[in-house]
Amino acid sequence: MSEDIRMGPVRLIQGIEVPSFFYGTAWKEELTETLVLAAIEAGFRAIDTANQRRHYYEEGVGHALSKLLGEGRLKRGELFLQSKFTFAASQDHRLPYDPGADYATQVEQSFSNSLQHLGTDYLDSYILHGPSLSQGLAEADREVWRAMESLCKAGSVRLIGVSNIGEDQLRLLIEFAEIKPAFVQNRCFARTQWDAKVRRLCTEHGIVYQGFSLLTANVSELNRPVMDQVIKRHGCTRAQAVFRFALQLGMIPLTGTSDPEHMKQDLSV
């Protein structure tokens, strides 16, 4: 790996340096290890995963990291690792915890399992994969958040956050939290002005917005003639235009491309 490959700008979030672009590992299955290696080779230094075997192969991420770290090609401190706790309703039968245990124990077991998968003794970011309800917050959500705060206070996690959350739910979480979320990670739709309401609330409270599915959730909008004009004017790809736009809005974008050339193109924005 050439020494001059770097992840571009970083952002200072709660005093911690965070790369400005994440590589997402959902739905990669047996290709996870190969694609994480390719992403890091391309210059990504932030990897997003989850202990949710239904959609992620977290162990595959760990296999890639073990190779890189074992060969001395990178140091653990040069990487930003983010994983998630996922409620049982969004898992399949391959649960990373005892579903009969209380929620604090489930978080502890899932987190410990993630550390084992990734071959590390801490995570840079730990995310609640989504509230247990589609509206409001349940006691389960509060118990999970308190358990995540405990991990943060113990130094096992540097930053905590939440994913797949609506504006009203986020407002309730902010009011309840002792340690407010550093991140909100949401699927981002052009038809909602790129999740404008949630992003506005994030801005008000110093929370950084991570946007995923920026391309796949907006296929029709990105195929409009105005986009052809944009990419022609700037001499870029459609994906590059979208990711640059996201950065200018203050987001941290995620990409899950499986094409090594696209990885480099995406980072070049």
How big is the CA angle at 50 (ends 92 and 25), to the nearest 5 degrees? Answer: 105
Following DSSP, what letter does each residue of 50-117 receive, concatenated? Answer: -S-TTT--HHHHHHHHHHHHHTTSS-GGG-EEEEEE--GGGS-S--SS-TTS-HHHHHHHHHHHHHHH
Pairing type for strands 10-13 and 16-19 reads: antiparallel
Give residue-wise pLDDT tens across range 191-246. Answer: 999 999 999 999 999 999 999 999 999 999 999 999 999 999 999 999 999 999 99
Q: What is the pLDDT of residue 9?
A: 76
Q: In the structure, what pLDDT confidence band is assigned to residue 46 with cuts at 50, 70 and 90?
A: very high
Q: What is the pLDDT of residue 167?
A: 98
What domains are there in the chain, each with its CATH number?
10-220+251-263 (3.20.20.100)
Q: In the structure, what pLDDT confidence band is assigned to residue 8 with cuts at 50, 70 and 90?
A: low
Q: In the structure, what pLDDT confidence band is assigned to residue 7 with cuts at 50, 70 and 90?
A: very low
Give residue-wise pLDDT tens across range 104-133. Answer: 999 999 999 999 999 999 999 999 999 999
Q: In the structure, what pLDDT confidence band is assigned to residue 2 with cuts at 50, 70 and 90?
A: very low
How big is the CA angle at 164 (ends 257 and 161), to the nearest 5 degrees? Answer: 90
Whether residue 190 has pLDDT greater than 70: yes
Q: In the structure, what pLDDT confidence band is assigned to residue 4 with cuts at 50, 70 and 90?
A: very low
Q: In the structure, what pLDDT confidence band is assigned to residue 5 with cuts at 50, 70 and 90?
A: very low
